[in-house]
Amino acid sequence: MTKVTAGRDALGSFAPKFAELNDDVLFGQVWAREDKLSPRDRSLITVTALMSSGILDSSLQFHIAKAKENGVTEEEMVETLTHLAFYAGWPKAWAAFRMAKEVYCD
């Protein structure tokens, strides 16, 4: 897995501890536990959590792209978002579909 530096890049001098936790713990230690849960499954869970929570910004788009990188097919992403629409809300699904279309159709 590629080392994530998004926390340090965006907040390193402003919130160094948060940046460290983001980059080293969340993306370094938690996502590295592939023997417990595959990156593909972690990606699907993360997309589900973000969409359900209404986090419809660049975080969701990043994780949709990460899901693609981790082997989630276009068909699987479409099915996931369709299923989630009934639980998380139709407007959230529309927003997520716009992002997924950009990621998978580029």
Q: What is the pLDDT of residue 34?
A: 93
Verdict on whether the full-model pTM lies above 0.95 = no
Q: What is the pLDDT of residue 6?
A: 87
The backbone region for 35, taken as left when phi is positive above 0, alpha when psi lies in -120 to 50, beta otherwise, is alpha
Q: Which fold has domain 37-104?
A: AhpD-like (1.20.1290)
Domain boundaries, the chain: 1-32, 37-104
Q: What is the pLDDT of residue 1?
A: 62
| Cα 77 to Cα 29, 54, 85, distances in angstroms | 25, 17, 12
Q: Which residues of the chain have pLDDT under 50?
A: none
Cβ within 8 Å of residue 102, ≥6 positions away? 61
Q: What is the pLDDT of residue 4?
A: 82
Rounded to a whole number of angstroms, the CA Rg of the chain reads: 14
**Widest CA span of the chain, in angstroms?**
41
